[in-house]
Amino acid sequence: MLKGIPAILPPRLLMYLSEMGHGDRLVIGDANFPAASIAATSGRLIRCDGHGAVALLDAILELMPLDSYVERPVGLMQVMPGDPVATPIWAEYAAVIARHDPRGRAAIREIERFRFYEEARDTYVTIASGETALYANIILQKGVITD
């Protein structure tokens, strides 16, 4: 246990966050996300099944800045056309991001579903959450630590 580190983050995830450099990305997948197959390329899968994605996002952003050199360093999986699904979790994500990055909602882009899977395969680490909200998958691009 360490002081100042959110207890929700497991030790291996802390190691991966520390290893990541500027421009590296991670994905937080919801409970339906194919995390194991997405992580097969990198071999870096962190299971956080008992935790929601909003809490994980907040804890990660306590430690990791978003990339300030790209306009929108956060990506959400776009709802498939015709899918009658609401995404209230996106407003929760925007509120968390606004607490950690001055761009707030402007830092977020939507990524077409199959393109999202392609981008997720190229992330440094895949986090499998226990989030049950639909379309709750999110990609974060790490920025520079300046302090």
Positions marked catalytic = 22, 67, 117
Distance separating the N- and C-terminal Cα atoms of the chain: 23
Q: Collapse the DSSP code of 125 into the 3-class scheme (helix H, G, I; strand E, B; otherwise coil) and give the result.
A: strand
Note the maximum CA span of the chain: 47
Residues 6+ away with beta carbon under 8 Å from 15: none
Q: Distance between CA atoms of 143 and 1, rounded to whole angstroms?
A: 26
For residue 64, give the nearest of 146, 132, 127 by alpha carbon.
Answer: 146
Q: Distance between CA atoms of 100 and 103, rounded to whole angstroms?
A: 9
